[in-house]
């Protein structure tokens, strides 16, 4: 009788652990569903999409980068974003290099990067300027590959005091 009681206690412990894991899994699934259904913030950002690539070991998501410039000549701010929808990713790929507006939703406290590497999930894209951005980037005159500067015009020396300037 002693061994039957030990078997029952062992089986009860196993079922208790299985139940605990099932409840934890259910709570995690509910948490993920809530975080994916509710967005912390949403809005639009405008700029030039520089990069969009499909990344991930197991969970493949589209990860992108957009340059936003507030004032000409200022350093661009990078907006990192994730795209789940392949159709939206195709639209973004077709407008790389043009000024666009991306509509996004921000989802916070996701338990893993399997949903995306960023918190910003792009839902739609709109072209602002139909023409591609100019690729004419001025280089630093001293940088390698910069066009040579024209030599300055020769300057004649100033006459010494008391001398007249030759005509």
Assigned domain for 118 exists: yes
- The C-alpha atoms of residue 43 and residue 39 are separated, in whole angstroms, by 11
Q: What are phi and psi of 67, to 5 degrees?
A: -95, 125
Judging by DSSP bridges, how do beta strands 41-55 and 77-83 pair with one another? unpaired
Q: Which residue has the higher pLDDT, 133 or 62?
A: 62
Q: Which residue has the higher pLDDT, 130 or 133?
A: 130
Domain encompassing residue 93: 40-127
Token couple for 19? 């139940």
Domain count, the chain: 1
Task: List, in sequence order, every residue forming a beta bridge with 66; answer none if it has no partner.
Answer: 49, 79
Assigned domain for 24 exists: no
CATH number at residue 62: 2.40.50.140
Range with the largest mean pLDDT of 29-33, 102-106, 117-121: 102-106
Assigned domain for 74 exists: yes
Please tell me whether residue 92 adopts helix, strand or coil conformation: helix
Assigned domain for 19 exists: no
Assigned domain for 91 exists: yes
Assigned domain for 9 exists: no
Assigned domain for 86 exists: yes
- The C-alpha atoms of residue 72 and residue 70 are separated, in whole angstroms, by 7
Assigned domain for 22 exists: no
In 3D space, the residue among 165, 166, 62, 69 whose CA is nearest the CA of residue 118 turns out to be 62
The stretch 85-95 carries a mean pLDDT of: 94
Q: Which residue has the higher pLDDT, 125 or 34?
A: 125
Region of 144 please: left (phi>0), alpha (psi -120 to 50) or beta. beta
pTM of the model: 0.63
Task: List, in sequence order, every residue forming a beta bridge with 162; answer none if it has no partner.
Answer: none
């Amino acid at each position: 009788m002693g061994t039957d009681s030990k078997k029952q206690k062992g089986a009860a412990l196993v079922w208790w652990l299985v139940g605990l894991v099932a409840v934890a899994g259910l709570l995690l699934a509910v948490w993920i569903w809530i975080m994916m259904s509710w967005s912390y913030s949403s809005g639009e950002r405008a700029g030039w999409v520089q990069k969009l690539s499909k990344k991930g070991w197991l969970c493949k998501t589209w990860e992108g980068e957009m340059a936003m410039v507030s004032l000409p000549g200022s350093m661009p701010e990078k907006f990192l974003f994730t795209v789940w929808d392949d159709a939206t990713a195709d639209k973004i790929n077709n407008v790389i290099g043009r000024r666009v507006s991306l509509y996004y939703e921000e989802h916070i406290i996701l338990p893993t990067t399997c949903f995306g590497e960023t918190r910003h999930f792009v839902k739609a894209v709109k072209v602002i300027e139909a023409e591609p951005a100019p690729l004419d980037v001025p280089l630093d005159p001293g940088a390698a590959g910069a066009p040579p500067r024209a030599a300055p015009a020769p300057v004649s020396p100033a006459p010494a005091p008391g001398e007249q300037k030759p005509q």
